Amino acid sequence: MVSLAECLAKGADILSGTEYARLEAEILLCHVLGKDRLYVAVHKADPIAADSANIFFELCQRRAKGEPSAYITGTKEFMSLEFEVNPSVLIPRPETEMLAELICNKYKDKNANIIDICTGSGAIACSVAHYLPDAKVTAVDISEAALAVAARNCQKTKVAHRVTLMRADALKKIDVPQKFDLAVSNPPYIESRVISALDTDVKDFEPRLALDGGEDGLIFYRQIVNNIKSVLKAGGELYFEIGSNQGSAVANIMSAHFENVTVIKDLAGLDRIVTGQLR
């Protein structure tokens, strides 16, 4: 038998072509063992059963071929909550946590009615509902498979009683029985022609439906803004996540119907969020 440390070293070697080989090896080993990283660090001299080691090496091989670790383990942490993910939904990104945090901070202690358009895994909707216990959230997506994942994540994060899931096309008018105080969306925003040049773990594994923003990457922003009056109250806020080169373009789109339009940069100094109030 080999030790956990030896097993981990071999896994990191298999993953040497990835950016965070050691970290991803740890994630996969913890998944196989059903333990956390602290356990692995404390018990690194302990032996690992041969069958567990073989499973771990197989998972490392899958990751080395490009399959994202989150799809291999079936989980991804977001806003300190654990979410189910699979290839029918985009893997939640750390940048999107900034969007969720802004909303949670601004709407703290408010009885807000919120709609999340293009919800995917439900990461934003569930996180907002979790941290804003007085809020009610409607989560919208066109993909039935994504909505099934979102439904399980609502149960997983214990917010199913305050999150309503709805199938609708964000490129069309969304028919809802009420209007909302806040709309949030992290829509597909990659230019169609660019998708084939993305990293393998994105272009070959994540759903194109959640990536493709049309010829210029802006089709969802235009359509959501054009149809927003059917969704949002006058004076209500809209929060968009955007690509790092889309701040000015999305701000211009929003200015047709919104005031106080603001582009917010992320920790790397890149444009990441555009927000404004509906006139």
pLDDT exceeds cutoff 90 at 1: no
Q: What is the pLDDT of residue 172?
A: 97
Joined together, the tokens standing for residue 198 give 């993305």
What number is the average pLDDT over the span 157-179? 96
pLDDT of residue 66: 96
Listed in sequence order, the residues at least 6 apart from 217 whose beta carbon sits closer than 8 Å to its beta carbon are 189, 190, 191, 194, 243, 246
pTM above 0.85, yes or no: yes
The answer to whether residues 207 and 263 touch, using CB atoms and an 8 Å cutoff, is: no
In which band, very low, low, confident or very high, does the pLDDT at 131 lie, cut at 50, 70 and 90? very high
**What is the pLDDT averaged over residues 244-262?**
98
State the Rg of the chain over Cα. Answer: 20
Instruction: Identify the CA nearest to 59 among candidates 7, 106, 11, 1.
Output: 11
| Distance from C-alpha of 276 to C-alpha of 180, rounded to nearest angstrom | 14
What are 276's two structure tokens? 């404004």
Q: Which of 228, 279, 235 minimizes the C-alpha distance to 258? A: 279
Are the CB atoms for 273 and 261 separated by under 8 Å?
Answer: no
What are the φ/ψ torsions at residue 184 (nearest 5 degrees)?
Answer: -130, 145
Continuous segment of H or E residues that includes residue 139:
strand 136-141
Give CA–CA dist 150/205, Å, rounded: 19
What is the reported pLDDT for 164?
Answer: 98
Instruction: Tell me which DSSP letter residue 230 carries.
Output: G
| Average of per-residue pLDDT across 45-74 | 97
Structure tokens of 150?
A: 């979102």
Task: State how beta strands 47-48 and 2-3 pair.
Answer: antiparallel
pLDDT beyond 90 at 105: yes
- pLDDT digit string, tens, across residues 28-55: 999 999 999 999 999 999 999 999 999 9
Residues whose CB is less than 8 angstroms from the CB of residue 244 and which lie 6 or more positions away in sequence, other chains included: 270, 271, 272
For each of the domains in the chain, give its residue range(s) and CATH number, in order of start: 2-65 (1.10.8.10), 84-278 (3.40.50.150)
pLDDT of residue 109: 87
Q: Is it the case that residue 231 has pLDDT exceeding 90?
A: yes
